Structure 1
Amino acid sequence: MQYGKQLFNRLIAGTLFGVRIGIIVLVCICSSPYCLAAPPLQAAKGEVIFQTLSPAQASQLMKKRKELIVIDVRTPQEQKKYHIAGSYLVPLADLIRGKHKLSKDQAVLLYCAVGGRSALAANILNNQGFQEVYNLAGGIESWLSRGLAVEISREPVSPHQ
């Protein structure tokens, strides 16, 4: 019986040691300058930016960069329910087919319902040579959960109509 108790104590001690090491590594990673760095507010000439932003970061970027084009990649039906003010509708299917009038040198912020389609759209634009592409993490649902404003029901607008 004594042997079983010693084995159990060693197992617990080893597990606690592993947890401590994991916490130390996590703290080191999360306190690194790369984790704590704010997103750039503008790309340097020739620099490619491809970044996922929190709703707060996206809102800040939209306020600071008036020329930023905000694109909703959801369907027209989804967009009619609610959308971020000033955004343009370019459904993902149209974006994949290249049915858009976006310029590769424009800064673009993409969003969808929860972030999956806009992440795919961001990858597509990045691969097409767009210089500055941002994705809204968690999509418009995350935006709403942070209490940020949306517009309700208007006809979809495409950029450069």
Structure 2
Amino acid sequence: MIQTDFVLDAKGLACPMPIVKTKKAMKDLEAGQVLEIQATDKGSTADLQAWAKSSGHEYLGTETEGDVLRHFLRKDGANAAAEPAVIPEISLENFKEKVENGENLTILDVRELDEYEEGHINGAIHIPLGEVEQRSGELKKDELIYVICHSGRRSELAAQTMAKQGFKHLINVVPGMRDWTGKTV
């Protein structure tokens, strides 16, 4: 069992709130201390892994107790990562206009499989956030890629991961599928 210094209750919260609360809680910890995040959002595992990696904290693992996911992160200010890349954003309204005008777009949907299957933009490529680092080779580094998730947080993390891998033309769609009113398949 992992010894924790602080427990954060994020049960019942959906993306991006577990990350928002985790980010705030980490500010109050000393380097080396461990934060336990209790969440019920299935996407929180991939979200917290990616956030920890991009922010210089150490993801220690997840334990499951019934419907509750217990995530463990160690604050490590001494090994903080370099500033993440700034990813340009497009409003959902402007993005929807491009989709509805039939523009030839490369759309990367980084939501979890069950979210994607509930409804996605026709032609969107599906790679869940937790698989982006390993599967980004399925995409062309010189192509303009619109990255979308539920709210805009996971897509930002995915785009930052891809930017570190040499992708130059990434645009984060904000807020994401949560507010999408266009056609889905």
TM-score tier after normalising by the smaller chain length? 0.5 to 0.7
Residue of structure 1 equivalent to 2:166: 129
Aligned pair count?
Answer: 99
Q: AA paired with 1:84? A: I
1:132 CA displacement:
1.0
Report 1:10-159 matches (<5 A). 50-62=87-99, 63=101, 65-66=103-104, 68-98=105-135, 100-143=137-180, 147-151=181-185
The structure richer in helix per residue is 1
Q: Output the TM-score relative to the length of structure 1.
A: 0.55
Look up the equivalent residue of 1:104 and give its one-letter code.
Answer: K
**Cα distance, 1:78 vs structure 2:** 1.2
Give the ranges of 4+ consecutive aligned residues of structure 1 lying more than 6 Å apart after TM superposition: none
Residues 80-135 of structure 1: CA deviation (Å, up to 9, x unaligned): 11111211111111102345411101111111111110010111112222121011
Secondary structure of the residue aligned to 2:142 is coil
CA 1:89–1:98 in 2, change beyond 3 Å: closer, same or farther? closer
Q: CA RMSD in A?
A: 2.0
1:24: which partner in 2?
none
Separation in structure 2 between the aligned mates of residue 60 and residue 100 of structure 1, nearest angstrom: 28
- Are the structure 2 counterparts of residues 50 and 65 from structure 1 closer, same or farther at C-alpha, using a change threshold of 3 Å? farther
Secondary structure of the residue aligned to 2:89 is strand
The 3 A distance-change label for structure 1 pair 148 and 74 is: same
User: What is the SS of the residue equivalent to 1:149?
Assistant: coil
The Cα of 1:64 is off from its aligned counterpart by 6.3
> What's the secondary structure of 2:138's corresponding residue?
coil
- Following the alignment from structure 1 to structure 2, what is the Cα–Cα distance between the partners of residues 127 and 99? 11
Instruction: Tell me if structure 2 keeps the 8 A contact 1:50–1:132.
Output: no
Aligned-residue identity in percent: 27
Letter matched to residue 165 of structure 2: Q
CA distance, structure 2, for counterparts of residue 113 and residue 77 of structure 1: 12
